[in-house]
Structure 1
C-alpha cells in the first residue's frame, strides 16, 4: 500500500510538471510590420529584448515589429515554476516601394491660418494615445475581421508616398476602396479612445484601444456612430466610409499600432480567433 501511495504522488507530480512546462501557442508572423500573439498557462512574465510585455490573467500577450524593424529579437517567457522559455526572431528589412498621388496643395503645405488648428488636433490625438497600454486585458482575443464588407486594397502599408511629385510621409496604414456610406466595422473588440470630427488631415475618424498597447484607427469617415470611452465588439458598426480630411476620394484608411510601432493591418486578418 505504501508503494502504491508513492506511485500516485509521483504521477501527480509529473502531471503538474507537464502543465507548468507546456509550450506556448503563437499566432501571427515575425516580420517587419508584423504582430505576434502568444498564449499559454502559468506564465509569470514575458519580455521582448529589454521591453517587458503585458500578460493578462488568461496568459495572453502581444508584441509587434515596426515597419523599419530589422535584426535579432529575443523573447523570454518566465513560467511560474521558474523555468524560462526562449525564442529567437531574425527580422529582415522589407522593401515597400512607392505610391504617387496628386492631392490639393493645402494638404501638403497648409495655410498659416490652419497651423494652430493642426497643432491642437495633434495634441488631442497624442493625449488620447497616452491611454493606450493602460488596459492590461487582451481585448483583441476575439480575433480579427476586415473593416469593410468588400475588400480591395488601393494603398499598401509602408509605401513611400510621393505627393504631387515630392516625397512625403510614409503610408503607415492600408487604404481600402469604398463607396460613400459603406459600413465600417471594428476589426476586433476595443474601447473608443477618440471619435474625432472634422480634423484637418484625418477628417472624421475613430481611434480604438484593443488592450496591451494594440490600437487601430479609421480615417476619412463620412459619419461616426460611436462615442469616446464606448466599448465595441469585433464587427460592430462604428462609422461610414467617406472622403473627409486629406483624401482624394471615398475610401477607408486603417492604421494599426502596437504602442508606437507601426504595424501592417493586413498581418492581423489571418488571426480569425484565438483558442
Structure 2
C-alpha cells in the first residue's frame, strides 16, 4: 500500500503549540478526541483524532492506549485495517443486516510518528442503512501482542464544504474494457482564502476490494469557475508530489466554486473517465468557503 502523508493542519498546530509552550506540559494526546474505543484486559484501546469523528473523505487516525487510571501507555507495535460491510437488499427499497460483501478504503500503514501511532484514511462511504465500518487492529504493549477483530466506528457526512465530496470514476483500456475504478478527493486546503491557495488532490486506484494504491503518474489540469457561471476564472496544473497532486489555485473572493479536472497519462494523453454505465463523465469538485 502506497502511503499518503498529509497531516491535518489543526492537529499539527495543536501538537506544535504544546511542544513550544514552556508553561503547558500537558501531553499532546490529551488534545485528541475519541472516535471509538474498546476495553481489553486492563487497557482501553482508542481510535482518535483532533475532531473526535470520522467523515466521508480524508481523515486522521491515531491509535492510543490508556490504563484504567487514565495513564497513557506506550504501544510497541500496531496495525490498522479499516473495513466496511455492505448489507444485502431486502428487495423492497431497503437493506437487511445480512452481509453481501466487504471492502476497505485508501489508507496508510499505521506508523509511529513521534510517540503516536498514526494513519490516514479516505472513507468513500458513510455509515448508514447500506453498511457499517469497523477496524481490525493488532498491538503490542509491554511485550504482549493482542488482536482486536472488530472495533466499530461511524463515518459521518463531510461537514467541511471547502473539501467537497469524494468522487469516483472508471478508466477503460484494451486490457480492462469494463473499466478500473478510481477515487478522488480534495485533501487541502481545509480553510481556503481569497487569493492563492495550495491545492492537494488525492487520486487512488481500486485494484480490488482491499487494495487502493495512490495514482502517481497523472498530470491534472484544474479549471476554476464560480458555481452557476461557466466563465473560467483561472487554470492550474497539478503534479504529483509528497503523496498528492499539488499546485496553486486562485479564488478571487469567498464564495462557491467548481474545480473541473482534466487528467492526462504519463504520455500526455487525455484520460476520458467514465461512470458505471460506461458513459463519459466530467470530473469536478464543488466547494464553498
Same fold judged by TM-score > 0.5? Answer: no
**Which structure carries more strand by proportion?**
2
Higher relative contact order (CA 8 A, sep 6+): 1
Q: Which of the five TM-score ranges fits, normalised by the shorter chain? A: 0.3 to 0.5
TM-score, normalised with respect to structure 1: 0.34
